[in-house]
Amino acid sequence: MSNLSEAYTDNPLHLHHIIPLDFDSVRTVPDSHVWPTSHAFESDDQLSIPTVDLMDPDAVKLVGHACETWGVFQVINHGIPLDIIDEVESEARRLFSLPTGHKLKALRSPGGATGYGLARISPFFSKKMWHEGFTVMGSPVDHARELWPNDYQRFCDVMEDYQKKMKELAITLMHLILKSLDLSEEEISKVVSPGGASTALQLNSYPFCPDPSRVMGLAPHTDTSLLTILYQSTINGLEIFKDGVGWVLVSPTNGSLVVNVGDLLHILSNAQFPSVLHRVVLKEKQQRLSLAYFYSPPTDFHVSPLALNPAQIPLYRSVSVREYIHIKAKDVEKALSLIRI
């Protein structure tokens, strides 16, 4: 897992792209965080993304269809006990409710990948986002010790347990998704091996905002990962972009998790599965929490289009995970087009 954090050390950020606003002290939205309001914030709240029951005998077909038509779906009967999710959410609340000065003790370093700070996509946007995050890769013990010198073990245990469960689910999902592409077990095992993976858990907080309609929680972006598994608390905010439709709200439903296709899976599928553009807007005057788990192959793994029939030509060149992270760190919007053949 450390090799994923190493992939980020080569692209250090300035501190002003890492340190969140002191949300506790602001009574009005500062100009730095005011996004231009327009119809851009509108979304289709009637349409809903597909839901897949992992116990369904047709799960392979359903998952494949959802990936191809939407690039995102909700998953139920996923096998993650709800009490474990509740524990992680509770620990995330404990962390984000600490005073700002205290949270800064666990600040992500300029060349670091883990700890407290703004979203990594912040430098690509002229306005700041109404967001604070905490990134975990493996054990968060070093940062947790800074936050709770005498009471850090519970946070570490809960985060490590959740990552283990998420990894198992990610592997299950990847098997279903790759089977839907008619890949052989041998080909699947090259992409998904229990030992080798680059993973990260991102705790997200969108704090109380005095004027939610003027801010952006998380700007539109795609994920670098093969896939991302997201838990969102009961507050609305996540929206995905669907061609021909526009922005579609993804409402939290009890017990379900959201799974979305990332750039690396888009490449593997030779653009058959869209890497879904998504954002978070603030719809309510209260804090919103989410937990995002990113699953990718090891950083030295080369990703290239698979499952090509003789009539198909590859749309992307082969690229290592590490190299793609570097490309995206320099240009978040054009990364995919830069490796297109």
- E strands of the chain, at which residues? 51-53, 72-76, 115-117, 132-136, 198-206, 216-221, 227-232, 238-242, 246-249, 257-261, 278-281, 288-296, 302-303, 319-320
CA-based end-to-end distance of the chain:
30
Does residue 23 contact residue 48 with C-beta atoms inside 8 Å? no
Asked if 288 is an active-site residue, the reply is: yes
In the chain, what's the furthest Cα-to-Cα distance?
Answer: 62
Give the C-alpha separation, 259 to 275, whole Å: 11
The distance from CA 11 to its chain's CA centroid, rounded to whole angstroms, is: 19
Token duo for residue 73: 């779906």
Give the pairing of strands 72-76 and 51-53. parallel
Amino acid at position 327, single letter: I
Of 108, 120, 279, 288, catalytic: 288
Catalytic residues: 288
